[in-house]
């Protein structure tokens, strides 16, 4: 037995659509009418920008007479400060920033950068000096075996630090973490690649995506944790760029 349709059954925007509410955050409501099955295929995901400047916060499909239905889509004004932070389809999203502590070799400190190779060479000769008395005076025997060399400048500064037990220093880099909840599991992407985090941390940084983990929760939703670790420069010889 076939179903007979009368009147306009094509999906169309209702005259009640585009009700706008002005508030701290403006909102907009779209109402579409048509066949229930056709409307079901049009239900947007959370966070989708259906109208420029407005993103979806909910979508309700209500059955009507026969095979007809009404799709009500609620949108809210997009926060310009959070553009790109909430992925499309996310139920919730939390973003954290932290400054991670890294331990680096002493001679990689910026104060030694310009003369790093020569300082490293002189320090190695000083550390290899067999005469403890000379070492304690920040001196070493040159490679010719007869000349006594006094450490000076950056060489002396490095030697004093090393002799006091300091052979490394602490550096701090930003780490951006985004924890997002989805109804379905998400596949990891861009892991181990130079990538752009969802927010900008003050300073000049490049980022490597270092974590992308997805865990099923007790409520059957999925929690995805992504992490971007900053550095002054990401070596593109070692890591791909997204």
Could you state, in order of their start, the residue ranges of all structural domains in the chain?
12-78, 92-102+170-231, 105-169
Q: What is the pLDDT of residue 89?
A: 80
Question: By three-state DSSP, how is residue 119 classified?
Answer: helix
**Sequence-ordered alpha helix ranges (H) in 27-186:** 36-40, 116-127, 132-136, 153-163
Average pLDDT, rounded, for the chain: 87
pLDDT band at 93 (very low <50, low <70, confident <90, very high): confident
pTM above 0.75, yes or no: no
Mean pLDDT of 11-20: 79
C-alpha triplet 26, 29, 35: angle, nearest 5°: 165
Exposed, middle or buried, 39 (CB in 10 Å: 0-12/13-18/19+)?
A: buried
In this structure, the dihedral spanned by the alpha carbons of residues 199, 200, 201 and 206, taken in order and rounded to 10 degrees, is: 110
pLDDT at 103 over 60: yes
More confident residue, 174 or 147: 174
Question: By three-state DSSP, how is residue 143 classified?
Answer: coil
* Distance in angstroms (rounded) separating the CA atoms of residues 153 and 151: 7
pLDDT band at 79 (very low <50, low <70, confident <90, very high): low
212 and 190 Cβ atoms separated by less than 8 Å:
yes
* Distance in angstroms (rounded) separating the CA atoms of residues 187 and 89: 14
Mean pLDDT of 214-232: 94
pLDDT at 39 over 90: yes
pLDDT cut 90: percent of the chain above it = 57
Q: What is the pLDDT of residue 117?
A: 86
pLDDT cut 70: percent of the chain above it = 93
94 and 178 Cβ atoms separated by less than 8 Å:
yes
* Cβ neighbours for 112, distance < 8 A, ≥ 6 positions apart: 106, 119, 154, 158
pLDDT at 125 over 70: yes
Q: What is the pLDDT of residue 99?
A: 93
pLDDT band at 16 (very low <50, low <70, confident <90, very high): confident
The tokens of 61 are what?
Answer: 């499909």
Residues in the chain: 242
pLDDT at 2 over 70: no
34 and 9 Cβ atoms separated by less than 8 Å:
yes
Q: What is the pLDDT of residue 4?
A: 55
Mean pLDDT of 67-74: 92
Q: What is the pLDDT of residue 82?
A: 47
* Distance in angstroms (rounded) separating the CA atoms of residues 71 and 83: 26
List the single range of 76-90, 159-173, 226-240 with lowest mean pLDDT: 76-90
pLDDT band at 165 (very low <50, low <70, confident <90, very high): very high
pLDDT at 126 over 60: yes
pLDDT at 156 over 50: yes
82 and 53 Cβ atoms separated by less than 8 Å:
no
Mean pLDDT of 58-85: 80
Q: What is the pLDDT of residue 6?
A: 58
Closest to 84 measured CA to CA, from 193, 174, 190, 200 = 200
């Amino acid at each position: 037995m076939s179903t007979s349709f009368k009147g306009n059954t094509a999906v169309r925007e209702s005259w009640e659509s585009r009700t706008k509410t002005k508030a701290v955050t403006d909102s907009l409501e779209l109402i579409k009418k048509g066949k229930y099955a056709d409307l079901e295929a049009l239900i947007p995901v959370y966070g989708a920008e259906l109208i420029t400047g407005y993103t979806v916060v909910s979508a309700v499909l209500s059955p009507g007479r026969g095979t007809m239905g009404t799709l009500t889509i609620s949108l809210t004004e997009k926060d310009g400060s959070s553009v790109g932070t909430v992925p499309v389809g996310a139920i919730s999203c939390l973003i954290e920033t932290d400054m991670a502590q890294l331990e680096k070799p002493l001679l990689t400190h910026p104060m030694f950068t310009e003369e790093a190779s020569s300082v490293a060479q002189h320090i190695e000769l000083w550390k290899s000096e067999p005469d403890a008395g000379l070492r304690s005076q920040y001196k070493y025997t040159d490679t010719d075996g007869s000349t006594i060399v006094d450490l000076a400048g950056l060489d002396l500064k490095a030697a004093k630090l090393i002799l006091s037990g300091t052979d490394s220093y602490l550096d701090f880099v930003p780490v951006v973490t985004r924890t997002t909840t989805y109804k379905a599991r998400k596949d990891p992407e861009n892991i181990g690649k130079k990538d752009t985090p969802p927010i900008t941390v003050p300073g000049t940084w490049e980022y490597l995506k270092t974590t992308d983990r997805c865990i099923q929760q007790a409520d059957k939703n999925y929690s995805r944790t992504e992490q971007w670790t900053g550095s002054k420069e990401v070596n593109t010889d070692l890591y791909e760029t997204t």
